[in-house]
Amino acid sequence: MTDSVTIKKPFDSHVHFRQGAMLRAVTPLTAAKFSRAVVMPNTDPPIETVDQAAEYKKEILGAMPQGSHCEPLMTVYLTKNLTAVEIEKGAKSNVCKIYGVKSYPYGATTNSQWGYRSILEAKEVLKKMEEVGMPLLLHGEVHMNESGGEVDPYEGERLFIEDILPRLLDSYPKLKISLEHLSTAVAADFIEKHGAEGRLVATITPHHLLYAREEAESRPLLRCKPLIKSKAEREKVRLLVKKGLPFVFAGTDSAPHPESKKFSATPAFGVFSAPVAIELYTQIFDELGVLNLLENFLSINGPNFYGLPPSEETITLVKKDWQVTEPVVTDEGEKVWPIGHKEHGLGNETLRWRVR
């Protein structure tokens, strides 16, 4: 039985740091365990220029503890204000290189109201991204049908994979694309067939590997987009991970909200996992019997896609039961509950692995 594993320091290809007091509270948690993090731009207002990204990067670096080696990789939001000129500037910038452009479906998740109705409308920007090699990071869900009606949120990812993604791949044969937080069987099949290093990759969260719709629907802490799917879908996502493909890797999508927004009648979308994400991934890989694939998934495949070397530092995880008993508290006194918490998660949950 393996009870300890040492890997290169992980790479989080998808994290939300928010702003202000929340950012100051959560950034050190990611900085402690990850070598680099791709930072999502859905702040309010969104990050849509290189200068805004540079300002945001400063705020993030200011929240990192002294001596921290975690590098934030900045992104911009695909809004109608984003231009091809800005893409060119971001690709070349020494001060604040832009590592990707995030596309959100109109109206689908926190602060996503600035997006295009259809990604296919953003022709000039996509062409320029293809030319300079800047990745497109997709929240791959259809949220509204052509007549403006809401689609079943459990069907949104499937519709995107069947309708939009093939057209994107055809129209921009060299564009680097990452399908973020893959959550369905259809997406897993598509990526297994069409995924390719440096061209089409997918990231997977710990919560989409760990939980299922049956248990998630009544738990505010597990409410997120894409929604957590059925056990059968989760099995397909786990099988994809188990294949150890070089174009599949970790992106926590850690997305904190204060207690007041999470435990309300309409809980905000987003799972806060930064304090437990690496531990949960390790637990899942252990359950699947593929701990030997953990380092590629957490620490190698992600940097490869972004053209970066893996970390030279390492972390060690040990098999040791523990529970999350406290929330993170911001300097304004707001509580932020991570998943895995023994009262607010699924009830007396035990985590099996711990970072030493």
| Binding stretches for Zn ion (CB under 5 A) | 253
At residue 122, φ and ψ (nearest 5 deg) are: -85, 50
Yes or no: say if 209 and 194 are a contact pair by the CB < 8 Å rule. no
Shortest reach from residue 224's CB to Zn ion, in Å: 8
Shortest reach from residue 16's CB to Zn ion, in Å: 6
295 DSSP 8-state letter? H
Q: Is 344 annotated as a binding residue?
A: no
Residues 6+ apart with CB under 8 A from 181: 14, 139, 203, 204, 205, 208, 226, 251, 253
Shortest reach from residue 102's CB to Zn ion, in Å: 8
Shortest reach from residue 254's CB to Zn ion, in Å: 8
Shortest reach from residue 255's CB to Zn ion, in Å: 5
- The whole-angstrom separation of Cα 190 and Cα 168 is 14
Cβ proximity to Zn ion, 233 vs 253, nearer residue: 253
Q: Is 189 annotated as a binding residue?
A: no
Shortest reach from residue 116's CB to Zn ion, in Å: 17
Q: Is 341 annotated as a binding residue?
A: no
Yes or no: say if 164 and 146 are a contact pair by the CB < 8 Å rule. no
Tell me how crowded residue 178 is: count the other CB atoms within 10 A of its CB.
Answer: 25
The helix-helix angle for 50-63 and 20-33 (nearest 10°) equals 70
Among positive and negative, which fits the CA dihedral 131, 200, 113, 270?
negative
Q: Is 42 annotated as a binding residue?
A: yes
Cβ proximity to Zn ion, 317 vs 339, nearer residue: 339
Cβ proximity to Zn ion, 45 vs 347, nearer residue: 45
Tell me how crowded residue 28 is: count the other CB atoms within 10 A of its CB.
Answer: 15
Residue of 3, 152, 170, 253 marked active site: 253
Q: Is 44 annotated as a binding residue?
A: no
Tell me how crowded residue 102 is: count the other CB atoms within 10 A of its CB.
Answer: 25
The residue with its CB nearest to Zn ion is 253
Active site (annotated) includes residue 253 = yes
- Report strand pairing: 177-179 vs 200-204: parallel
Cβ proximity to Zn ion, 86 vs 253, nearer residue: 253
Yes or no: say if 86 and 75 are a contact pair by the CB < 8 Å rule. no
Q: How many helices (H) and strands (E) does the chain have?
A: 14, 13
Q: Is 253 annotated as a binding residue?
A: yes
Yes or no: say if 270 and 330 are a contact pair by the CB < 8 Å rule. no
Q: Is 17 annotated as a binding residue?
A: yes
Positions marked active-site: 253
Positions at the binding site for substrate: 16-18, 42, 139, 257
Positions at the binding site for Zn(2+): 14, 16, 102, 139, 181, 253
Positions at the binding site: 14, 16-18, 42, 102, 139, 181, 253, 257
